[in-house]
Every structure is written in structure tokens, then in C-alpha cells.
Structure 1
Amino acid sequence: MTATRYGIIGGGILGTAVARRLLQQQPDAQVTVLEKEQELAAHQTGRNSGVVHAGLYYIPGSLKATLCRRGVGLLKEYCGERNLAYDEIGKVLVARNAEEESRLGGILDRARANGVPGVGIIGWDELREIEPHVEGVAGLHSPSTAIVDYGAVTRALADDVVTAGGTVHTGFEVTGLTTRGNETLVTGRHNGTETWEIFDSVIICAGLQSDRVAKLAGDKEDPKIVPFRGEYYLLKPEKRSLVKGLVYPVPDPRYPFLGVHLTPRTDGEVMVGPNAVLALAREAYGWGTVSPRDLGDAVGYPGFRAFAKQHWRTGAVEMLGSLSKRRFVNEARKYVPELTIDDVVPGPSGIRAQALDRDGSLVDDFRITRHGSVLAVRNAPSPAATSSLAIAEHIVAEVLEVAASDRKETA
């Protein structure tokens, strides 16, 4: 029997996790990962804050909640097996007033329904014990929330793929997907040379380019990826002791983005941010990179115009924070009053691949579509990195189920 050929487009944590899972389930399969950059985890995976989300916010029973909780366990176990950092430093959602405090109960109910261990509401005294420099009237404490290096996890997953007989191609930009009977022809440029590969099944895990790659396969246009850049500052080394764990705001359901928070990393840095501003290109990590195609694609989309009409005030505030260091730091000072403008230095930035529907609504849950033999992850929002190993289980189960059904029909 001929081995099944699988192509995975995208070399972030999700693509490598899917490739590894396929080889676990079908050791004789031919599995190939295609990544357009010269290194893995070059975009969302390698530029996020490194938080392992415990599952505090997500609607119980949703795919996001289910895969997050399953993913946390799998990720912790995997990091232990591969000797990768996994630090349970804990997280507090800080309520600054009575209105924010009133929202903590609903978050606690969701967290407990999702099975988050040890979570509870704390008063001012306990908040100060956990975070002596943080100011608030109350908080919600999640002691099991952790941090990892997702880039390192991705590279470990890719090593597993190669060890199991799979192939990882970097510098391979996909330019076409053509279905021919039960096969899919993938054309592209590999380190500048035109080339092609043939697969029995293709799985798109292309993050910021997911809608465009899916469209190459004949899939529908919606949802559209609109890139939002998140910018960070870093605490100077002598100021890192201002926080012990993760310090987050209480989410406001009226606004689409969370707001500035403080996030220690496994390398010892402490990130302050992010804001959320429309990026001028899908892979623009600063104001100096502009893509007329990407920008026109975003602002010309009816869903973005509807979204901007509803949230333009929030967008203006985020823009001011991007242009003014003082405004940015003042947002963090709401939680850590001792922080000053001289305590931070410019840090990294990342792009959030935000999927929007045509009516302007944010696609909040995972969305996976299929077109023939091509399965596309059209939206994998936070906590996608946390959930990656569980998402891989979910995707591979679907791929294998469809393949078994197809074989049954042709038998």
C-alpha cells in the first residue's frame, strides 16, 4: 500500500504540531512541512508573549475552551519530556475599581467550569502579598498560569518530525494549489527556485497568510485576516522585580482587545504591553514597513469598515499609545504606580492575525474549513499556541476520518 503524502503549509507551532501528530498516528506516512521563511516560528509563534493560558475567559464547552485545557496538559507534559522551560509563575487579573471587581465573578465561574485549577478571587491584602508593587481593589488569581518559549517548542516539534522520517522545508513560499482528482499540486518557490510537490492531503496552518493560501485552493474569501500590530516595551533589568508573575487587566466586554499588561518571560525579560494598532502590512513589525496590497486588502474589506466604525475610538486611543511612550507607560502605571517612563526600553512587536467576518464581527473561536483534500485553519486566535498540541489532535482526527470515509466510498 502506498504511503499517504501530507503537506503542511506553515512552520509555526501549529504546523509542526500537526506534522508530529500525523507521524504519531501514521508512522509510514510521508509528511512535509513547507515554511516560506528561512527559519521556523518567524511570525506569530516566535513573537508572542510566551503565556500558557489556563482557560479563564473562554465560553465553557466552546472549542477554544476545550482545546485550551487539553492543550495546557499536553504542552506541560511535552516541555517536561524535552527539557524545555515551563514556569508556572501565576497570573492576577487586577480590578482597579468596583465596576471591574463586579466582573470577576463571571470570569471565575467560567474558569471553574473550564476546569482551571486553584483559581480564586482575592482581596486587596492578598493581592499585595502576591504582587507587592501592584495596585488594585481586588483580583482573580490563577496560580497555574505559566510561561514558555514557543519558538523553542516549535523547533523541538520540528526535530521530532524529522526524527520520525518527515521533512521540513524552510524558504518554501507556496504560490499555487491545484486539485487534480485525489491529489493536490502545490507550486511555489524554494529558495528562489520554482518547484512543486504533490500531496494526497494538504493542511494549511499559515497564520497571517491563511486566508490567501486557502483562497489559492478555491476556498471562500471569508473570514479575512486583518493584521493588528502589538508593540511592547521591556522593563530595565533593575526594575524587573516590580512584578513576580503575570499582571493583567480585567477584560472589558465592550472592547475587542485586552489592553496593556506586564508579562515576565522565560529569558528573564519583563514585557509591558501590547497595544493594538492596524499594521500597514501583514508582516510589518514597525511603522517603516508598508504594503499597499496588504493595507488595501484590509481597509477595502467591508468587515473591516464595519469593525472600524464600531471601535474607532478604541483605535484612536491605541494609536496614541503607539506614538507616545508616556501614554503607553501611563496605561501600565494604572497597575504598577511605581513604574516611570525611564524604567522601560523599546521591546519587540508582533502581529495578531485577526480574522474578521464580512459583518465586522471578530472571529473569536477556532475556525477550520475544508475544500476537497485541503483543510485550512482559517482562524487560530489566542490561546492557539497554548492549545497547539490539542488542535493538532483535533485536526489530524478530522483528516484521518475524512480519508477513511473516502476510502470506504471508493471501495
Structure 2
Amino acid sequence: MLDRAGGVDVQVTTARTLRDHLPTPIARTAGAVRRRLKGLRYSYAQLPEFPQVADTPVRLFIGPTNSAGQGYAWARAADTIDGVSAVSFSVHRKGQFQFKDDYGVPLVWFGQPRWQRAQEQHVLGSYTHVLMESLRPLFGARGLKDGFTELQQLKDAGIKPALLFHGSDIRLPSRHAKRERWSPFTPGDPLTDRLETQAARFAELVDAADVPVFVSTVDLLDDVPAARWLPVAIDPAPWARAARPLFSTDRPVVVHVPSSAQLKGSDRIDEVLTGLADSGLIEYRRISGVTHQQMPAVIGDADIVVDQLRIGLYGVAAVEALAAGRLCVSYVGSAVRDRVRSLTGREVPIVEADPDSLASVVTDLLSDRTAAAEQAAAGPGFVAELHDGRRSARALTDWFDSKESL
């Protein structure tokens, strides 16, 4: 079924897949790589070109997952620092939505030995700092489960490496389930068990790596207490430009764009919002089939954006809704709100809701639209102060100026 939102054709089904939010393992055995390449003919003239590297004192390389486009966003934030240049790299998987990056390669090329050697030479010979996302290998699928051995290569080359985690790559489900009433993680569930194994192994590697660690959301400081917060970053301007006046349609529009239906509690969100729509109170749009370039128009045509009800955090999708001046409804949790207040002095302007309270929260917002509009108006300022890249640049500057991992 197609709907129209801000001139954009929208398919109202599940949006981005779990793979968009969670980097999948990119290690492959030699046999698997050979099977994948079987029948393909490579022209070495078609090897992807590497980007020009600026002649600056600090040259930062970020990759290889670019989750939610954040590798590219942090690279642009780093570019604003005097004496710093940055490049983002990502592996492009067929059938998976691609965010903007500085350069990347298809997964089949990631397993190509000649490209692997060229990538290794490029990185080791060009950069002073490397931010390795999600402990994934940077130099190709060479039978490695992770990028741990590459960290030592970087150190041996005189490069300062750091690790960066986005969420379920390091969040331990069993720990989350103990602290969060609404946790989506259940022992025996295939996703829970897979993430438990991965997070436990990565935690051991983090301890052994002895390099600085960044996390993109403050809830992850529970999983990596020694980590530093590298706030997610966006360009607020497209979101602000695309936003229509709040509550300017016949029925308020409520939007949900799940990157992972299981982790975001989309079953309960669908149940509640469909019920409110059937009663005539709202128009409910569950969005899919939309590129990131189209998302400002989709979000800007909404009055309320319901992000998630299970995890207890806020991330890129919530920040984008706030930048558009929309009412963002989500389960943030008191621990995250307290930590953001402690770190920044700011209150998170997201309307709190959980699986039990979502219906009443939305109904209350619509019953006092003046108060709701005042709540929404706090969003753009919050984003401008914490998530337009400037605070991210400050976090990176502290790392560049430190003596760690020399």
C-alpha cells in the first residue's frame, strides 16, 4: 500500500531491516570467499579508487560499518577541527540500504586479495588515527572473526587506534534484561542468544585491546564503563526545512519507522496506534521503503514520531525527529535521562512512554496541543547543542590530544 507524505511515495510496512542497525559479521572463511567469487571475473582496473588524503597533522580513518551514516557524520565533524582531516569507509552489502560515505566496496570485493592488500597499504600508510567501528576488520574478509589483530597492525605502524560501538554490537542482553523491565531480550530467543555471545566476546577483546573506546549512546556506558560518549551527529537543516507546522492537518499524523521491529517493540506500537487510528483520533503511518534522503519529508509531515518502547535510550532516529520539531515519543528511561543531564546539563526533550502507557501518552498530547507544541519546540535547540557534530568534534579532539595508544 502506498501513502503520500510530503510528496514522497511511502510504503507502509516494515522499514529498514535489523541489518541496517546491527552490523553483520563480515569475516568469511577462505572457502566461503572462493564460493562467493566463483564465476565472477575481476578486472584489476576496476579496483575501487582510494580517496586523496589531506596533508594535515591528524588524519582520521573511520570504518567499516558506517551504521546509520554515523561514520560519515563523525568524519565531517572531525573535518571542522583545525589540523584534522577525516575519511569514512564502509562495506556495501547487496540489498542493504547504503548511507553516504567517502568510499566503500561491495562485499565481494572485500574478499578480493588484491584489494585487501591495497586497502591495508592505504590505511597503514596514510592515517594517524583509526576509529574501528564494531570491532569489524578494516582490511578485508580474511577468515577473521573480528578486527582485533588489525589493532596491533595499526599500533605497529605508529597509528593511534580506538574502538567505537553503536549498540547491539556491545550491549549485553542479559545485563539489559536485568535492568530494564521492558527489555526485548529473552534467553533462548535466537537474536538474544547471538547478541549475547557477540557482546560477551567483544567485551573480552575490549579489555585485551588496551585502546580508547567510544560509544554512540550513553546507555552503553553501562556495558563499557571506561568508554567515552561520542554523540550521534546529524545535519539539522534538512529536517527543519521539511517540517510543516505542527497539528496543521485534519487528523494528527503519527509515524513509526522501525529499524528493528523486535528491538523497538513495533508489535505493541502497531497495536496501540492502529487502535487509535481506528477510533479516528490519529492517522497512523508505519513507514518502509524510504531512502534516508526522503526521510526528512516523511518525518516533517508527521506530528508525532514514536521511536521505540523497549531499549531505554535515544539514537539517530529520535534526534532526527527532534531536529524537525516533531513530538518524539519513546522509552528513554530515567537512567539515560539522568546521565545526559549529568554530562550536559540538558533535559532530553523526548516524551516518555512504555508499552503500557503509549495510548494514554498520545491521547494526552492531543488533548493539550499548546503544551505539546511547546514540548516539540525544545527539540531543535537540544539537537543544535548536542547532536549537530560540534560536541562530537570535541570528544574526538580530546582523543587526538591525548597520549593514549602512542
**TM-score w.r.t. structure 1 length?**
0.27
**Which structure would you say has the larger RCO, counting Cα contacts within 8 Å and 6 or more residues apart?**
1
**TM-score w.r.t. structure 2 length?**
0.27
